[in-house]
Chain A
Amino acid sequence: MLKYVGKRLLQIIPVLIIVAILIFVLMYFVPGDPVQIMLGDYHATEEQIQATRARLGLDKPFLVQLWDYLVGLTRLDFGASYIYNINVGQELMHRFPYTLRLALYSLVFVVVVGIPLGVLCAVQAGKTVDRVLMVVTLVLNSMPAFWLGLLLIILFAVKLNWLPTSGIHGWTSWIMPTIATSVGALAGVCRQTRSSMLEVIRSDFVVTARSKGLSERKITYGHALPNALIPIITVCGTRFGAMLGGSTVIEAIYTVPGIGQYMVNAINSRDYPVVRGSILYIAFSFSIIMLVVDLVYAFVDPRIRAQYVKVKKKAESEEEKTPEAA
């Protein structure tokens, strides 16, 4: 198992290197000159522009810039922001807790509400509760998160004046961003849970469980749900990865000072070190989440676990064919 984790971690490294190079090359060709944007409104002289270019290292040839950047990365140095001259690595560490908290709150909300609702739908399949919930989740699933975010602001901040509009001041500030981030995912997880439960609920082993005299509750949560979890985990994992990568749009709406907002602002101001650093960070955390998801699979399903562990029982399994007692 450990060996497998190690192997997967090593596999992430080349992916990150390619992402790093790719993003550097792409950003280099982005239309728009960062120096122009920085000095934008002032009537900067040619000398000022040249001086700024030299200070940022933008006057060097392309390959030299790329080399400097890659060498920096080996020391985990993402460079400094062009505009604020703050180290990108430090800024990311400072902003990460905001993004992480938003993602974690949303994930908890999605799991705690979405999965039981999906189970309820599957158990009540075809009945009123199921039909209503299926329509509601279909609508929620189609709702753009940023629009929902704006609607929440209108309702809870403007009309009712219950919650703060934007920024993070205390726990109430997290409510709207969490809801806006998670509603789509919640609807998706609910629908996924329903369909994978429906497949499992008709399996023979559920009939076996029923024939033992177990209660419906025990059958549903003890036998059916554990077997339906794999696709649900996939959906949760992907959604969580996306949230951790910065719920860009939501952070923009509620001005949460997280990674997503950092990156979007940086793209607009052509602040390349920030863009590169954010994207690398996001690629890294996304890959880690995907690895964790794979490990959760193994935790949930012994058949997947068996693929990771060396097949040491091979010899014993040969004996199965000749039972000891007859």
Chain B
Amino acid sequence: MSEHATPKEAFLDIRDLKVEYKLGKDTIYAVNGVSFQVEKGTTLGLVGETGAGKTTIAKAILRILPDHSLKMMDGVVKFDGEDILNMPDEQLRRIRGRRISMIFQDPMTALNPVMPVVDQIAEGIALHQNKSKQDARIAAIKMLEMVGISSDRAGEYPHQFSGGMKQRVVIAIALACNPDLLIADEPTTALDVTIQAQVLELIGNLRDELGTSMILITHDLGVVAGTCDNVAVVYAGEIIEYGTKEDIFDHPTHPYTIGLFGALPDLSKDVKRLSPIAGLPPDPSVEYTGSCPFAPRCPKATEACTKEKPVDIEITPGHLVRCHLAKEK
């Protein structure tokens, strides 16, 4: 992906995004200078451990981070040339749900329990497509059918649906206005294994049908392999490796990425045991300004790793690695 190096503006262009939360007296450094681009019609996978800051990145794009604990949000998020972070609320509301929409992690809590599901879908349609309540309802029922829920269940409430069905409703809400960018935040984590494949296939099919760009957040590398064009590996609120799916799968370079792939059981090879990544996830209340955040867990850490923060190194065009060791290669 050579676009990365060129100054040409991408469809979604994020540069040096930083997000800090406050928690009691502590500051949580959730996202620490993240930059990436998503081109029209492509899918980017954000992978990493729980708590690495993936969801925060996603919510920052829509500016739906919780006000009450947000301390600082900085950087540039440009969507189709428009500056999201400095946009007036009024203008942003015309983008939310219409041009960018999001599928949330937990379908159990993402739906309003006291509103019939069809109304929850119709609401956005009525707002963004200037339709009457009646027409919006008809469109919403069509959406429900599209995600595989029969129209006679449209008037029911979320508690009458199973987890998988709820996630279909959430997907229907997200896709109702035919968005240009879909952010799917671990859309299958809360579901039974048997339902996961169905939901992913549904999202994939709808994306292809509607030509939507997508950011898929997951910690399931199998899912990444199946759906993504590009992959960004997130660790401690930073993208420590970025490249095409092939770059990351065939030539993982950052020790963390290697470790992550090592943690995946490979059936084709005869491995004796899984290799988990040693050590604990990084403390988010520490700002790693003078060292590599992965250094304490890194099997190859050198003295330099604890003294100097690594910068991005482009090892092949479009394949970026934030690691001191990558220089030598």
A and B touch in the complex (CB under 8 A): yes
Partner of B110, one of A125, A208, A325, A326: A208
* Closest chain B CB from A318 CB (angstroms): 10
Q: Mark B61-78, 1 if CB is under 8 A from A, else 0.
A: 010101010000000000
- B64 near A210 with CB under 8 A, answer yes
B173-192 at interface with A (beta carbon < 8 Å): 173
Contacts of B226 in A (CB 8 A): none
- B114 near A302 with CB under 8 A, answer yes
Contacts of A303 in B (CB 8 A): 113-114, 157, 159
- B111 near A205 with CB under 8 A, answer yes
- A302 near B173 with CB under 8 A, answer no
- A211 near B127 with CB under 8 A, answer no
Interface centre among A210, A323, A325 (most CB of B within 10 A): A323
Q: Is A300 an interface residue (CB 8 A)?
A: yes
Partner of A321, one of B101, B157, B162: B162
Partner of A212, one of B89, B127, B160, B168: B127
Q: Mark A185-214, 1 if CB is under 8 A from B, else 0.
A: 000000000000000001111011111111
Partner of A125, one of B68, B89, B124: B68
**In whole angstroms, how far apart are the Cα atoms of A190 and B110 in the complex?**
27
**In whole angstroms, how far apart are the Cα atoms of A226 and B114 in the complex?**
7
Asked, given contacts A324-B148, A326-B148, whether A213 binds B110 with beta carbons under 8 Å apart, the answer is no
- B128 near A213 with CB under 8 A, answer yes
* Closest chain B CB from A317 CB (angstroms): 7
* Closest chain A CB from B209 CB (angstroms): 14
Partner of B104, one of A208, A306, A320, A325: A208
Q: Is A227 an interface residue (CB 8 A)?
A: yes
**In whole angstroms, how far apart are the Cα atoms of A303 and B115 in the complex?**
11
Interface centre among A211, A214, A227, A301 (most CB of B within 10 A): A211
Q: Is A215 an interface residue (CB 8 A)?
A: yes
Q: Mark B169-213, 1 if CB is under 8 A from A, else 0.
A: 010010000000000000000000000001001100000000000
Q: Is B268 an interface residue (CB 8 A)?
A: no
Q: Is A101 an interface residue (CB 8 A)?
A: no
Q: Is B106 an interface residue (CB 8 A)?
A: yes
Partner of A323, one of B62, B102, B148, B157: B148
**In whole angstroms, how far apart are the Cα atoms of A210 and B124 in the complex?**
10
Q: Is A313 an interface residue (CB 8 A)?
A: yes
* Closest chain B CB from A142 CB (angstroms): 28
* Closest chain B CB from A109 CB (angstroms): 26
- B111 near A301 with CB under 8 A, answer no
Q: Mark A112-140, 1 if CB is under 8 A from B, else 0.
A: 00000000000001100000000000000
Asked, given contacts A209-B112, A212-B96, A213-B93, whether A324 binds B157 with beta carbons under 8 Å apart, the answer is no
Asked, given contacts A214-B123, A227-B113, whether A326 binds B201 with beta carbons under 8 Å apart, the answer is yes
Partner of A202, one of B68, B97, B113, B127: B68
Q: Is B228 an interface residue (CB 8 A)?
A: no
- Report A's interface with B, CB cutoff 8 A: 125-126, 202-205, 207-216, 223, 226-227, 300-303, 306, 313, 317, 320-321, 323-326
7 A-B contact pairs sorted by A residue (CB < 8 Å): A204-B104, A205-B111, A214-B93, A223-B112, A303-B113, A321-B164, A324-B150
* Sample of 4 more A-B contacts, CB < 8 Å, known A210-B64, A321-B164, A323-B165: A320-B161, A323-B149, A324-B150, A325-B148
- Report B's interface with A, CB cutoff 8 A: 59, 62, 64, 66, 68, 89, 93-98, 101-102, 104, 106, 109-115, 120, 123-124, 127-128, 148-150, 157, 159-162, 164-165, 168, 170, 173, 198, 201-202
Interchain residue pairs A-B with the least CB separation, the first 7: A325-B148, A213-B97, A213-B96, A212-B97, A204-B109, A212-B124, A320-B162
